[in-house]
Amino acid sequence: MRYATLIIAMSLLPAPALGQEGSKRVKTEIIRESPLGMSTLYKIDDDGTVRIDWRAVETLARTKADYNALPIAQLMLAIRDGTWKAVR
């Protein structure tokens, strides 16, 4: 689940934001399918394309209906809205 979050986070960040860490490198992991319970928020196609259902993400973040998927939804929205900051 952490790897899926990392891939989503890295794909949503603008290119200049990735270089702020200096010489640290990010290891890319290939994710073949969504973790159990995350298929309602996003889907990974056979070619590796991640398709995010923003309506489902926004609804989950607002209603807090699924406490397992809630942190992922909040992270996805923070990255999309540009309010996410890397922890140093």
Q: Per residue in 11-45, pLDDT tens?
A: 665 555 445 555 566 666 666 666 666 678 888 88
For the chain, the structural domain boundaries read 2-81
Cβ(76)–Cβ(5) below 8 Å: no
Separation between Cα atoms, residue 45 and residue 4, nearest integer Å: 13
Strands (E), the chain: 42-44, 50-52
Average pLDDT over the chain, rounded to whole? 74
Residue 80 has pLDDT above 70, yes or no: yes
Query: Tokens standing for 45?
Result: 């196609």
Q: Name the CA radius of gyration of the chain, rounded.
A: 13
For the whole prediction, is pTM greater than 0.85? no
Would you state the pLDDT for residue 33? 63
